[in-house]
Amino acid sequence: MKKELYENSKTYTIEEINSIVGGILNKVEENIKINRIASPVDADENTLALAFEERFIESLPHTKAKVALVPLGVSLDNISTIEVERPKLAMMKILHLFYVPPDAHTGIHPSAIVHPDAKLGNDVSIGPNVVIGRGAVIGDNTKVLANVYIGKFAEVKKNCLLYPGVYVGDCIEIGNNVIIHNGASIGADGYSFVTETPSNVETAKKEGKVGDDATQQKIYKVPSLGAVTIADDVEIGANAAIDRGTIENTYIGKGTKIDNLVQIGHNCIVGENCLIISQAGVSGSVKLGDRVVLAGQAGIVDHLEIGSDSIIMAKSGVTKNLPDKSIVMGTPAIPRKEFVKQIKNVKELDVVLKEIKKFKKDFDSIRESLNIENVEV
């Protein structure tokens, strides 16, 4: 990792680091000072080597590091170790020690456009080319980096961080401690349209076929009068899009983490502490319970309800409601155990086909010996 990322970091003793992660310290050498973290291959004498996987543990006898963070039960003679039960959790705590926040302008940058009726809290940072609309409210200690747009009557509460290029639409409500990454769109109009007569999609759903003549149909936009409410401690990834509701607000629950390139449609209600992974798509009016995991490239059909603690695996296509604690995969999504069973059955078909071909060969031989004609297998 580049030195510049550590320019404001301090040096820690291994005793200080161990007290933070709550591990088991096995010292080989005294007075070790740590000012960076890295893999064993990239480590020097002042580096805490992270060795969670077997391949990194195997490289520890050859590292220049004097101390390593390792899973429980890993102890070496040539290097001090800090053993921890949950290495990734310990890594998170250590990364916070060395984390350097992005540079933010002190006060309001001269190029920013802040409406006279907007209200800014204490210690707010407003970066270059930011636009803040009429009646918008920005809470204490919030950082709004370059080229962010915040619409009229939007509210961004305390201790938030909006990275460059974020769009926050009119009347959007964003809670405390929210992080929104580059290029995310919060509050674009919902994808909602209607035709004067039943559309091809409506006819196909009802009758199982496309209508006779839709050539003259005109598609009308349904205005989005609702907004978006983002609860506290939410993080939204780069280029994610969360659309405003038609009448009621689209809602994202407390503690939910949304990855890059995620689409959440109008009128959706997302529960608390959900994990929504890259390129997942949630159609309009879907309700997700608490702690739902929606893996990469999974999709959910509109107007469905997904129970709390459910896991929707990667590339799944959900077409019906799911009860609590469901684990589904495939398209259309089915319970994981059933999906695995089907895959096993498909693999066994090869064996069955070989047996059938063998049986047919034997039957043909018998038929020829008995001079039986016109019998097919």
Q: Helices marked H in the chain — which ranges?
A: 14-21, 54-58, 87-98, 200-207, 336-369
Return the number of other C-beta atoms located less than 10 Å from residue 114's C-beta.
20
Cα gap 93→50, rounded to integer Å: 13
Give the phi and the psi of residue 82 in degrees, each rounded to 5: -115, 110
User: Judging by DSSP bridges, how do beta strands 241-243 and 263-264 pair with one another?
Assistant: parallel
At which residue do the structure tokens 């096995």 appear?
26
Cα gap 222→225, rounded to integer Å: 9
Contact 217, 195 (CB under 8 A): yes
Tokens representing residue 68 in the block:
């390593």
Residue 263, beta-bridge partner list: 241, 281
Single out the catalytic residue among 109, 115, 266, 303: 266
At which residue do the structure tokens 């409506």 appear?
202
Q: Which residue type, as a one-letter code, is found at position 284?
A: G
User: Judging by DSSP bridges, how do beta strands 193-195 and 219-221 pair with one another?
Assistant: antiparallel
266: annotated active-site residue: yes
Contact 323, 305 (CB under 8 A): no
Dmax (CA) of the chain: 101
Contact 84, 22 (CB under 8 A): yes
Bond from prior residue into 332 cis (ω within 30 degrees of 0): yes
Angle between helices 14-21 and 87-98 (to 10 degrees): 130
Cα gap 41→22, rounded to integer Å: 25
Q: Own/partner pairs for 301-310, CB < 8 Å, 24+ apart?
A: 302/265, 308/271
At which residue do the structure tokens 């929707």 appear?
312
Catalytically active residues, by annotation: 266
